[in-house]
Amino acid sequence: MRDRIVKRFLKYVSFHTTSEFGKENIPSTTRQFDMAKYLVEELKGLGLEDVSLDENGYVMATLPSNTEREVPTIGFVAHMDTSPDFSGENVNPQFHENYAGQPILLNKDEKIVLDPEEFPEMLLYKGQTLITTDGTTLLGADDKAGVTEIVSAMEYMLEHPEIEHGKIRVCITPDEEVGRGADKFDVDKFGAEWAYTIDGGRVGELEYESFNAAYAKLSFAGKMVHPGEAKNKMRNSMLVASSFIKALPADEIPERTDERQGFFHLTSMEGGVEKTTLEYIVRDHDRNIFNERKEFLEKTVKRFNEQYGEGTVELRMFDQYYNMGEKIKPVFHVVETVEEVMKDMGITPIVKPIRGGTDGSRLSFMGLPCPNIFAGGHNFHGRYEYVAVESMELATDLICKVAVKTMDKFGK
C-alpha cells in the first residue's frame, strides 16, 4: 500500500481547497468541490457503496459489512479543506528519504530551513521518509493525510475480504478549518453509532477532549478631528483598541499556554482613527472557566464604555463548539477500543486533550460520539508542515484494525 498511499496523498494535496472565514455558504469556497467530485469518482471506482456528494460539499460512502455477525456501524471522518492561515495553492511537496536528523533546506532562494533545533519532533522520524513543503505554501497534511488514510484503509479492506468487519461509513467534510465542518453534517444520513476523526498529529495521539470555543468580534468607535485641532476632541479608536488588548491577561495567550490552559487569542486587527475591529477566539477545556472568560470580556467592554462613552465598544460573541469529552466519557469504550488497537500494534497511546477542535467536537454534541486519532502530520497551517510516509501507513493500518476490533468486541 505504501506507493498507493503516497500517490493518493500527492494527488489530494494538488487540489487547492483553502476555506475562507466569514462566508455564509458551505463550502465557503467552491474550489473544494473539485476535490469532492474527484473523491466521489475514486470511491465509486474502489467499489464503495452509497457514494454521495451533497450541495454543501459533504462526501459520504459505505463499506458494506462482510460478516454475518451483528456489528455496530462505525464511521471515519476527515476534512478536505486546508487552513486559510497560509497559502494552500500550488503545493510542491518535497521528499526526504532516510531522514538522518539534519536541518532540511526547504527553499534555497528564501533561506527557509526546517530545523530540528526549532522542531525537535523531527528527530522521531530518523530513518523514515519525510514529505515537506518547498517553503512557499503549507503542505495540506491537515487533513489530506487523514483523507488518504481513510480511503486507503477502505481500499485495503475491499481487496482483502478475508478481513471480517461490520458496516463502515466514511465522510469527508468541507470547511473544518473555519469551524463549520459539522454545520451541515447529516448525522442521521451518516447512520453510525460512533465515529473517529482522523485529524490528529504525531503517531499515537488519541484525543477525546477538546476546547470549549467562542468567537468574539469587538468594534471600537472613534472620532476623527483634524490633528491640528484635535486636543480634547479626537478619540483614536486604534488607541482605545490597544488599551483593550492590554486589559486582557498578558500571559493567557496561545504562545504562553499549554496542556489544559486556556487563552484569549487575537486573530485579526484592522482599523483607523474612526473605527477599529479586533477578532478573538476564546478557548478553555473547563466549561466554567470558559464561561468566566466570556464574562470577563463582557465586563471589560462595559468598563470601557463607562470610561470612553456608551457605544464606544460593541461586542459580538458566540459559542463555536464545546468540549467533546462531555459526550464521549459516557461511552468511553469508543476510546478504549483504539487504545487496545494501538497497544496491539506496538504504538504507545498519547491520550491528551486537543488544544483546538475537530469536526468531532461538534459531532459529539450532535449525537455522534467522535474521538480524534492521529493522522501523522506536524506544524500544521504553515510552511514548516511535514508528514512521514510511515506515519500514514500506520494510520491506515490502525483504521483497518479498529474495524476488526469493533467486530470482535461488540459483534453478536
How far apart are the C-alpha atoms of 159 and 381, rounded to whole Å? 34
What pLDDT is stored for residue 389 in this prediction? 98
Smallest Cα–Cα separation from 218: which of 165, 153, 166, 276? Answer: 276
What pLDDT is stored for residue 90 in this prediction? 96
User: Which residues are designated catalytic?
Assistant: 81, 176
How far apart are the C-alpha atoms of 309 and 3, rounded to whole Å? 65
What pLDDT is stored for residue 177 in this prediction? 93
Angstrom distances, CA of residue 139 to CA of 107, 130, 131, 330: 14, 12, 8, 36
Smallest Cα–Cα separation from 150: which of 408, 398, 409, 410? Answer: 398
Planar angle of CA 49, 396, 409, nearest 5 degrees: 75
Q: Check if the beta carbon of residue 220 is closer than 8 Å to that of residue 312.
A: yes
Please provide the size of the chain in residues. 412
Smallest Cα–Cα separation from 377: which of 164, 125, 69, 41? Answer: 125
Cell 482599523, residue located? 271
How far apart are the C-alpha atoms of 141 and 386, rounded to whole Å? 7
Helix residue ranges per DSSP H, 227-358: 237-247, 287-308, 325-328, 333-344
What phi, psi does 278 have (nearest 5°)? -120, 140
Sheet holding 377-378, edge to edge: 94-96, 130-132, 386-388, 377-378
Domains and CATH numbers, the chain: 2-210+323-410 (3.40.630.10), 212-321 (3.30.70.360)
What phi, psi does 9 have (nearest 5°)? -60, -45
What pLDDT is stored for residue 300 in this prediction? 97
The pLDDT tens digits along the chain (412 residues) read 899 999 999 999 999 999 998 899 999 999 999 999 999 999 999 999 999 999 999 999 999 999 999 999 999 999 999 999 999 999 999 999 999 999 999 999 999 999 999 999 999 999 999 999 999 999 999 999 999 999 999 999 999 999 999 999 999 999 999 888 999 999 999 999 999 999 999 999 999 999 999 999 999 999 999 999 999 999 999 999 999 999 999 999 999 999 899 999 999 999 999 999 999 999 999 999 999 999 999 999 999 999 999 999 999 999 988 999 999 999 999 999 999 999 999 999 999 888 877 889 899 999 999 999 999 999 999 999 999 999 999 999 999 999 999 999 999 8
How far apart are the C-alpha atoms of 360 and 372, rounded to whole Å? 7
